[in-house]
A and B are shown apart, each in its own frame.
Chain A
Amino acid sequence: MQITGAEIVVRCLQEEGVEFVFGYPGGAVIEIYDAIFKQSQFRHVLVRHEQAAVHAADAYSRSSDKVGVALVTSGPGATNAVTGIATAYLDSIPLVVLSGQVGTPAIGLDAFQEVDMVGITRPCVKHNFLVKDIAELATTIKKAFYLAKSGRPGPVVVDIPKDITQQLHAFSYPQSMSVRSYVPVTRGHSGQIKKAVNLLAGAQRPLIYIGGGAVQGNAADEVRELVQSLGLPCTNTLMGLGAYPGSDRQCLGMLGMHGTYEANMAMHYCDVLVAVGARFDDRVISVPSHFLSQPKKIIHIDVDPSSIAKRVKVDIPIVGDVKLVLRDMLEQWRQAQLSLDAGALAGWWKQLEVWRSHDCLRFAPSETLIKPQFVMQKLYEVTGGEAIITSDVGQHQMWAAQYYRFDQPRRWINSGGLGTMGFGLPAAMGAQLANPYATVACVTGDASIQMNIQELSTCKQYHIPVKVVNLNNRYLGMVRQWQEMFYGNRYSETYMDALPDFVKLAEAYGHVGMRIEHPGDVEPALREAFAMKERLVFLDVITDQSENVFPMVQNGKGLNQMDLPPHMGDVQDVPFENNRDYGNMC
């Protein structure tokens, strides 16, 4: 039996077990929408802007480990999706984005709503396809799902011309897929793993550095076993939060530009570092030469060989699926009956506790002004640390990352790589749909929320009861912080004049809006909001405008040269430059 290309698309999505398609119709995909109308196996979620469709599909994937699917029309529909695709690419999120294209005879003729989607997205996808023959449609979609999910995951775009969706062809879906030019590595090299465990066994000051790859690779159990069975300290990157429980004593907290004092000092002064699905990016290690100026041996586990030795030369590269590599490491460790130097490890922990004792995330409470950190602490308490938190980009993102202790993976959902403002609200939608019984909150700011605020309408249509916590400081806070610190308080274009009344706006969209202006009201308001399980509640929290995110590693500085919060001003071990001899520190 022959069916249309549009029906083939729908059948492929059904075969893949897709639950939700996030999208927006248009001329080039109208046939596909007609086929969607006639089926009931998966649900379509109509967003209000294509960028939001991709972010929602992205967070659906991040919070569920399934492939996210978005569907957009040609031209502006496709270009609107690009920011979402790039966001997923930078964070290695498996997505299949189906875009409509003008009919094949019209391609290249500057037709109405024509854009070279394959060309535009080429640098920000794992792979992309233009389907030119209906006979290849099903195979191409199968290949897209396979590529998106395997190896280092990423977004795959399938651009489908309108005439292909109208032609007739028999449907047959391949059960398995292999691509001769694409063979991702799974198991790590056992010789390399042997070298790694031996190096680790000789460590005096070991540290496990856990990135987003541990989350995407579902390696949380293995990470925990490695850290706990060996008694090692560890630190999570912004993307790795939750891969090791943030509330556990062996976790030093997040590292990097706004990481904790203890995590950054440990990262700088460790002697054997095990990087698990992390990529030494500029917001984490800052300047590579300074990072390496303190001698250390590095073991780097990553599924993508090109992530290894990109910014930092490593001593033992291990290419493989992090979960499998960690299992093999633990196995080899046990078989060889290795052990760490207990005395050295105890000394290292003593130093780590000294660093931790400075309590770098302490902030001065206020009776009158709401401190954003305080809101995050209360959010953590009120939700029992069990919520899925999505965030936008800026100061609020860093405070959420610092003060919400994620004990499980896939609960912290943010745009770490691309830093996309406007990510938070559509991400919350995707996360809530993937986890209908979970508590989902979007931590945002007055600037970020306005970049996709139209999605409040989508939330209304589909009864998505997320809680929006808007840390409203009437500024583009992170840029303002930089302007205060590095640009002589010249707040160029960072003051958000003429902000809307967010409470009325939320109400206009049919939701509950609450404004919180006094510190004493924060906790009761959060409790009230989270008790409304069926409603979207928009909490407009008016916060202290002058608050800055600390600790901070300035651009060009090293991890041990942090700007620290005021209460740490008299810390004697900062900076460490005059105390380079590690032996004196313990």
Chain B
Amino acid sequence: MRHILSILLENEAGALSRVVGLFSARAYNIDSLTVATTEDPTLSRMTIVTHGSEDVIEQITKQLNKLIEVVKVIDLNESEHIEREMMLIKVRSTGKEREEMKRMADIFRGRIIDVTDKTYTIELTGTSEKLNAFIEAVDRTAILETVRTGASGIGRGERILKI
């Protein structure tokens, strides 16, 4: 099953490679990974989307906690949470396709952020599922390039990951 793990770790050189190295050394899956500094510059916040059985997810969580630089790990799936990913997608938009592409972007609440005679670049934010749905919805041959950030997640309500 798909899980979103949120990790708070020391913002130190090498901390990221320890996390990534752990996943490859123990043959865990990484579907996506995002990381950036938090409002506290000594800490980074990482979101890893992974999948595996409950036993595997439990081991991943324990192994992550064992890393010296990891401060806290939570499995967002354990309670209500919000997930967002951003995609920049460059599509061919000529002739009658141009109008159609604009409409699709509107339906998905995307924004066209760059325009040429032949292309649109659309910025789209949502769950990973929504971004997949957009890709499915548009003509495959019209897609010139995509770039996705990977999912970021946060707990709903007053659930907070902080030290």
Contacts and interface: CB of A to CB of B under 8 A. Distances in A.
Q: Do the two shown chains form a genuine complex with each other?
A: yes
A147 B13 CA distance: 18
Given A147-B68, A181-B10, A181-B70, A306 B163 contact: no
Contacts, number: 37
Contact of A180 (B55, B59, B63, B163): B163
A182 interface: yes
B10 to A, nearest CB: 6
Contacts of B21: 122-123
Given A123-B25, A180-B71, A305 B17 contact: no
B2 interface: no
A181 B17 contact: no
A127 interface: yes
Contact of A310 (B17, B18, B59): B59
B17 A127 contact: no
Nearest to B63: A306
A127 B9 CA distance: 14
B66 A181 contact: no
Which of the four size classes fits the interface of chain A? 10 to 19
A127 B63 contact: no
A418 interface: no
B83 interface: no
A181 B71 CA distance: 4
A127 B14 contact: no
A305 B59 contact: no
Contacts of B69: 181
A306 B59 contact: yes
A508 B65 CA distance: 52
A39 B69 CA distance: 35
A122 B24 CA distance: 12
A314 B90 CA distance: 52
Interface string A289-333: 000000000000000111001100100000000000000000000
Contacts of B68: 126-127, 147, 179, 181-182
A119 B21 CA distance: 10
B17 A119 contact: yes
A34 to B, nearest CB: 29
Contacts of B139: none
Contacts of A119: 17
A206 B133 CA distance: 57
B89 to A, nearest CB: 35
Contacts of A179: 68
A118 interface: yes
Q: Which of A123, A181, A313 has most B Cβ within 10 Å?
A: A181
B62 A306 contact: yes
Nearest to A143: B68
A309 B58 CA distance: 9
A206 B19 CA distance: 40
Nearest to A122: B21
Interface in A127-182: 127, 130, 147, 179-182
Nearest to A306: B62
A143 B123 CA distance: 46
A305 B62 CA distance: 7
Contact of A181 (B9, B59, B63): B9
Contact of B18 (A122, A182, A304, A313): A122
23 contacts: A122-B14, A122-B17, A122-B18, A122-B21, A123-B25, A126-B68, A127-B68, A130-B13, A130-B14, A181-B9, A181-B10, A181-B70, A182-B68, A304-B66, A305-B62, A305-B65, A305-B66, A306-B59, A306-B63, A306-B65, A309-B55, A309-B58, A310-B59
Given A305-B62, A310-B59, A313-B55, 14 more contacts: A122-B17, A123-B21, A123-B25, A130-B13, A130-B14, A179-B68, A181-B69, A182-B68, A304-B66, A306-B59, A306-B66, A309-B55, A309-B58, A309-B59
Interface of A: 118-119, 122-123, 126-127, 130, 147, 179-182, 304-306, 309-310, 313
